Structure 1
Amino acid sequence: MSNSKFHPYTNPKNAARRRAAIGKIHIGKTQLNMNEETYRAMLLTHGGVTSSKDLTNEGINKVIRHLEKSGAVFTKPKRAGRKPHNLDSQSSRADQLGKIEAQLAEAGRPWEYGGAMAKQMYQKDSLVFCDRKELAGIIAALAKNAQREGRRVR
């Protein structure tokens, strides 16, 4: 058995969460336009250290709460979603899904938008469960939306 022990704040299992939380602190610093002197003073006041890498987990939480109270807004990034993966390129619906993918990309919308359309229009939980006729209806609806919003109709 090895004598090496992990420092409680750098345990590999928690390292990714810690890096994300410290990144959040830096985002808050940027949002609030803090200069370096103000930032270091804030870290010392709320976290007891002058460098974010030296913060304890409790210190990280205190600093993040302070930044939120000061007006920093932390939101999760909007993800584009994923193209249905259980349809191969030989599928009879693959061409239609490619068209839907292009229309969604043109509109700047995520895959979940297409899934929401399937749910709204056909009570299907995902585009994967739509048949060719239903996918054609979604393509038509996306084309109509593009026309209405003045985008290129594909």
Structure 2
Amino acid sequence: MTKTALKSDKSPRLKLYGRIHSLMAEGNISDEIYRDILFVNFDGAESKSSLSERQLLQLIQHLETLVPGKQRRSYPGRPHNMNRPGQSRTDQLEKIEALLTIGKLPWSYADSIAKQMRLADKVAWVKTEDLYKITTALRKRAQKEGWDLSGETK
């Protein structure tokens, strides 16, 4: 293989490495904190070279949450008003509860959705901004099974 072939093979990883280093600089993240993040979040990994490309992307997402002003929406095309200010955590949990009641499902079903989506082990632990994902999953099941949602308000 030529040097250019080797360089092009590693190009995606090198770009990810560069992004990691720039986020560390922007967030003023020390090497010690960075190593702790690797160890805790990636099963004892000691360096980024031992991570897969998918794990590198997860690391970048994690570092972006630590950099002020760098938090990005996970779905760029998602409407801005989806999580309206009037929709508090309580409102969203009540909506989930209502959907579970209509479908005659226990709370453990919503917990299993949260766990399957890798949000948390229980709905109670899911971040407020991610609760809509569980509501959406329940609505899709309602649509598939033909639940009567005529009394539901958007």
Q: TM-score, normalised by structure 2?
A: 0.39
Compute the TM-score of the two structures, normalised by the length of structure 1.
0.39
Find the structure with the greater CA-based Rg: 1
